[in-house]
Amino acid sequence: MRRNKIFAALLWVLLPAAAGAQDGMTRVLGDIAAHSTALDVLARSRDAARAANRTGLTLAAPELGFDYLFGSPADMGHKRNYKVAQNFDIPTLSGAKRRAADGQDSVAATQYDVARTALLLEAKKQCIEVIYQNQLLALLARRQQTVARLAALAEERAERGDGTALDLNNARLSLAAIEVDRAEGEATRAALLADLKRLNAGRDVDLPDTLYGTPDVPADFAAWYAGVEARWPQLRAAEATVGAAERSRRLARQENLPELSVGYMQETTSAEAWRGLTFGVTLPLWSNRGKRRKAEADVALAQAQLRDARTQLRATLEAGYAKTVALARSADRMGRAVAGSNNLPLLAKALRLGQVSQIDYLQEVDRYYELAARELQMRRDAELAKAELTAADL
């Protein structure tokens, strides 16, 4: 909380246009989530995968048979056979096929979540960069005003004869350099907004914010990680893969069970007719060979991937957490240094009174604004690191 107050106070000095934490980034991310053509493709791919998983879940088609047999010698007549049969397999009757399909549906859904999170994280980072450029441009505008007042003072002195052309030229050169920096900043901001427009399905994006408005990371990493681990898309995808593999293993086991066939048969000749039920059993002695071993291997692989995902996730987030905290603390220290070194009003007064030279004044102004720009950069870096930590909330 103290850090936010320091940062807000500094931005009130440097960025007078900022009146408080703004929610433009949340709005832009919501628009992208609603309009992104890339997300639409991902969603349709997920739905297509679900539809594919739902094929083959019913019993086999009933079998209809008809035989017309010619007798020999000819006086035996002809024989006609009619048969209707239905095969019943245990995996379909027990629901093992449906449960395996449910597992594959979960995999498709979590894979979509992983891809969606990655796209929105990219968009959030772009938003952070835009807000940073807004801050930097506001800082440059304030710096330009400061140097413009210096140039006006130098011009007045030159007209009175107590100033030099060198002082005036130096002030004008400083103004020109600031103009170049502002033009580069505007170009960078335009490029970032164009990239956000691409992510937003070609719709224009407006993001004038100069504050990030994101909450601080909790002080206790262990408690924070315990709450975020279950929501992390990559981990949920790995868990879904394990569940799907286990259901496929149970399906493979049931596919080794015999398949039953029940039907009706009629056999007729010119003088006789036989009718009755037929029963059959299909023994999968060879057709499923190796399926069970593969299913067991798939389960072992998925479980190993889940263990690795948990290990990698904790290590990655712990390192990112430490980086975020360190960057935020460094930015706080820089903020205090910038706030403590803001002697611009005193310098302007001393310059008017002739107590400091124009060159010394310009050097002090440049040092102050370079420190302020450095703090903005450090805040941006901390926000980018924080975005990685909070990707599960997108």
Q: Which pLDDT score, from 0 to 100, does residue 274 have?
A: 86
What is the arithmetic mean of pLDDT over 95-102? 91
Q: Is the pLDDT of residue 188 over 60?
A: yes
Give residue 243's pLDDT.
94
Q: Report pTM.
A: 0.82
Query: What is the rounded distance in angstroms from the CA atom of residue 121 to the CA atom of residue 358?
Result: 47
Residue 162 has pLDDT above 80, yes or no: no
Which pLDDT value is given to residue 94? 87
Q: What is the pLDDT of residue 150?
A: 75
Per-residue pLDDT at 59 exceeds 90: no
Neighbours of 328 (CB within 10 A): 21
Residue 20 pLDDT: 40
Among candidate residues 369, 356, 392, the one with its CA nearest the CA of residue 167: 356
Mean predicted lDDT score pLDDT of the chain = 84
Q: pLDDT band at 185, cuts 50/70/90?
A: very high
Q: For position 357, what pLDDT does the model report?
A: 66
- Please tell me the predicted confidence (pLDDT) of residue 355: 58
Q: Give the model confidence (pLDDT) of 190-217 as tens digits.
A: 999 999 999 999 999 999 999 988 888 8
Domains, the chain, in order of start with CATH, read 2-393 (1.20.1600.10)
> Helix, strand, coil % (nearest 5) of the chain?
70, 10, 20
What average pLDDT does this structure show over 232-240?
94
Q: What does the pLDDT average to over 16-35? A: 74
Task: Return the pLDDT at 203.
Answer: 92
% of the chain beyond a pLDDT of 90: 44
Q: 138, 17 in Cβ contact below 8 A? A: yes
Q: Taking the alpha carbons of 126, 132, 135, 139 in that order, is the dihedral positive or negative?
A: negative
The closest of 30, 20, 14, 3 to 211, measured between CA atoms, is 20
* CA distance from start to end of the chain: 23
Tell me: pLDDT of 2 over 60: no
The pLDDT, as a whole number, for residue 23 is: 81
pLDDT surpasses 50 at 19: no
pLDDT band at 146 (very low <50, low <70, confident <90, very high): confident
**CA 77, 81, 85 angle in degrees (round to 5)?**
175
* pLDDT tops 60 at residue 47: yes
